[in-house]
Structures are given as C-alpha cells and as structure tokens.
Amino acid sequence: MFVPPWNRIDPALIPRLPGLGYRALSTYTTRPAREAAPGLVQINTHMDPIHWRGGGGLVDPDSQITALLRHLEDRRRGRADAAEPLGFLTHHLVHDPAIWDFTRACLSTLLAGGARPVNLISLKGPLP
C-alpha cells in the first residue's frame, strides 16, 4: 500500500503505482471509487484526531464524533462506499494522552458496536 506524505498525491502519478508493485493507495476522506486506477484499490482514512492546523493536540472530540456519524450515515444511505474499511489515522509519535484516550474510547466504542478490524496484510482474497 502506498501512503503519500500528508495523504496527498498528484493524480497523474496514481496510474503508475501498480507498475511499481503497489496494490493499494491510501489518502484521506471517502474514496470516490473502489479502484483509484486499474489494479489499484483505494482504502482511505476517515478520521484524524490531531489538530494539525491548531499546533497539535486533540481535535475537538464533539466535531470528530459528528463527522464520524455523518460518514456512517453516508455509508448507510449509499452516499459513501460501505465496503471501504473505516480508516482511523494515527501518528503515534505525536499522540499526547488526550489523543490516546480519545483513540482508545472511539475504537472501543466502534468495536463494541459491531465493527470488525481488518488486517490487510493477512487478508485472504481481494482487498476491500
């Protein structure tokens, strides 16, 4: 999987990735289609708990939860790809205790509600 810096990539480069051996691409927000290019599945992240533009620290938890609920609603209503795994972006080297606490609580709530983790490395069959 290719994960470009800051989750941004020049669209002209995307079709070249399968020829370099990549099977997947990850950027940020809902994927527009399952494949970013022929033979290249896009599996994005949808949540980033760090307030980068605010100098770091935790993004307001209420706004994150609101955005997550909106994304899940979009999946249920067919406005987003429900087959795409929900991606939670982590930057463990810069997580402070508040970010770790939010991450733990959010992921625990999702898992308790029926979400299932996907290990892309050991996945048998096609990528989601």
Query: Would you state the pLDDT for residue 121?
Result: 86
Is 52 within a domain? Answer: yes
Structure tokens belonging to residue 14: 């995307």
Per-residue model confidence (pLDDT) at position 68 = 97
Residue 127 belongs to a domain: no
- The domain in which residue 82 lies consists of 5-112
pLDDT at 31: 96
| pTM reported for the whole predicted model | 0.89
Domain-located, residue 93: yes
- Percent of the chain exceeding pLDDT 90 equals 86
The answer to the question of residue 121 being in a domain is no
118 assigned to some structural domain: no
Residue 49 within a domain? yes
Number of domains in the chain: 1
Q: In this structure, are residues 7 and 52 in contact, taking their beta carbons and an 8 Å threshold?
A: no
**CB of 98 within 8 A of CB of 58?**
yes
Residue with tokens 């941004």: 8
Q: Is the pLDDT of residue 125 over 90?
A: no
Tokens of 124: 């048998």
- pLDDT value at 120 more than 90: no
Mean pLDDT of the 18-31 span: 96
pLDDT at 123 over 90: no
Banded pLDDT at 92 (limits 50, 70, 90): confident
pLDDT one-digit tens code per residue, 33-56: 999 999 999 999 999 999 998 999
